[in-house]
Chain A
């Protein structure tokens, strides 16, 4: 299939870039190691592994957004996409070719984070396995966000918007590092209107085995994933026609 050829290329580009491996795998692992070490030396329960690991798995996906957006923006600016537009590849081949290969990469990233967390005391339960499965809709949201940004911004703009802005939004508004209840007010309201905290709460509920508590978070994640993907496809098609 033509789409698979294109998807294979995107996987190779991801795996061969040492920065992707560092930020995609190394950085989340480093966060778990560092924050677990801090937790071990303080009396307060700030970074308990059961709450920290699900948060880091979600936060780590923001680097997949960065990669997704960067490769699309670079393919646009280097005219590589322009060349491929004159081949029999269809618009669906491009969209699937950019999106699908990153899902297994997100799952691998999630598994690596949980394996690291197990070394720091996280129990291996059915919940952890389910959490790996439920990272898929979350990853679709983050990958779609990359497709969207890559279709709109230049490769330089993508570095600032996805590399700095998105990673900060994903960090501060997700409740990974602190309880949003402590801040409250408009900050909490904005956070709960966005999908980041819902993705983290959903993963935490699954890891804890509280399956009933994944709602309404799962709905938030699904609505944002589908909505962002639809918008990303529209914007990608628009830049294709330009």
Chain B
């Protein structure tokens, strides 16, 4: 069974087809990047898979659970770190983690254990009592991912996790994302080529809501007949190679 399997998944907004009959299979424990230019449909795919918006037609199955018929079961195994940092800015780092523990129904003693574990994993020791709104962009993104991990999801969606971060903050976040590999199935949306190349087991290139290719970085480069992934992406998106 795949972690994610989409069957002709489609989303239309009036006359615009945001996602067009997407058929995608993602194996358990894989880190797959959805790569595309702005407006390609990456965020819409994540929104449908995380039950935030209903597909116009088609379906998707997350560990066998339909996103159209069994949203409660889907929600119990996923977590989302949205494009915006999506943290409670007036609360401290600890309180943000505590809030998510409460939202997932963790008991008081479980909450303390979970927060201690994430504090160590993400290096929050020195900023644990700081207000989230006063943290740097990099730390806010770290907190956002840590909050998503509280419910111990089987599938984690990271929507543009490093957007707007400086090189150092991006590299630190990559380390954290790499550490998640194998433990959880990760779907990462990005439009940074180097990010997709550095982190992904496989890459799905999307254009105008359509899946152009879904393969490993090496295979994509081979198909596009180039050693550079960025060039391979451009060739595939421009339709130079099919």
Interface residues, chain A, with chain B CB atoms under 8 Å away = 2, 4-6, 8-9, 12-13, 16-17, 77-80, 82-89, 241-242
**Do the beta carbons of A88 and B87 come within 8 Å of each other?**
no
> In the complex, what residues of A have CB within 8 A of residue B88's CB?
9, 13, 80
Please name 12 pairs of A and B residues whose Cβ atoms are closer than 8 Å in the assembled complex, sorted by A. Answer: A5-B101, A9-B95, A12-B91, A16-B90, A78-B84, A78-B86, A79-B86, A80-B86, A82-B80, A82-B86, A87-B75, A88-B103
Chain B residues with CB under 8 Å of A79's CB are 82-86
In whole angstroms, how far apart are the Cα atoms of A84 and B79 in the complex? 9
Known: A6-B99, A9-B99, A242-B53. A86 touches B87 (CB 8 A): no
Interface membership of B220, Cβ < 8 A = no
Asked if B105 and A86 sit within 8 Å, CB to CB, the answer is no
Contacts of B100 in A (CB 8 A): 87
B105 touches A78 (CB 8 A): no
Which residues of chain A are within 8 angstroms of B163 by Cβ–Cβ distance?
none
What chain A residues lie within 8 Å of B151 (beta carbons)? 87
Q: B80 and A86: CB pair below 8 A?
A: yes
Flag whether B76 is at the interface (Cβ < 8 A).
yes
Contact with A86, one of B51, B83, B84, B101 (Cβ below 8 angstroms): B51
Neighbouring B residues of A17 by C-beta, 8 Å:
90
Shortest B62–chain A CB gap in Å is 12
Instruction: Please tell me if the beta carbons of A83 and B148 are within 8 angstroms of each other in the complex.
Output: yes
Q: Which residue from chain A places its CB closest to the CB of B72 in the assembled complex? A: A88
B50 is an interface residue with CB less than 8 A from chain A: yes
Q: A89 to B103, Cβ gap below 8 A?
A: yes
> How many B residues touch the partner, as a band?
20 to 34
Complex Cα–Cα for A241 and B103 (A): 19
A241: chain B residues within 8 A (beta carbon): 54
Partner of A9, one of B54, B84, B91: B91
Residues of B contacting A: mostly: loop
Contact present for B82 and A5 (CB under 8 Å): no
Asked if A87 and B104 sit within 8 Å, CB to CB, the answer is: yes
**Residue contact B82 to A88, C-beta cutoff 8 Å:** no
The answer to whether A86 and B75 touch (CB under 8 A), given A5-B99, A6-B103, is yes
List the A side residues contacting B51 at CB < 8 Å: 86
Chain B residues contacting A86 (CB-CB under 8 Å) are: 50-52, 75, 78-80
Partner of B104, one of A4, A8, A85, A88: A88
Tell me whether B189 is interfacial, beta carbon within 8 Å: no
Alpha-carbon distance A153/B77, docked complex (angstroms): 32
Task: Report if B147 contacts A (CB, 8 A).
Answer: yes
Task: Tell yes or no: B81 within 8 A of A by CB.
Answer: yes
Query: Are B81 and A83 neighbours in the complex by a CB distance under 8 Å?
Result: yes
B123 within 8 A of A: no
| Residues of chain B within 8 A of A2, CB atoms compared | 102-103, 105
Partner of B90, one of A12, A87, A88, A242: A12
Distance between Cα atoms of A137 and B234 in the complex (Å): 61
Counting chain B CB atoms within 10 Å of each CB, the highest count among A8, A84, A85, A87 belongs to A87
Shortest beta-carbon distance from B147 to chain A in Å:
7
Task: Give complex CA distance A13, B95 in Å.
Answer: 11
A78 touches B103 (CB 8 A): no
1/0 per position for B83-118, CB-CB distance to A under 8 A?
111111111000100111111110000000000000
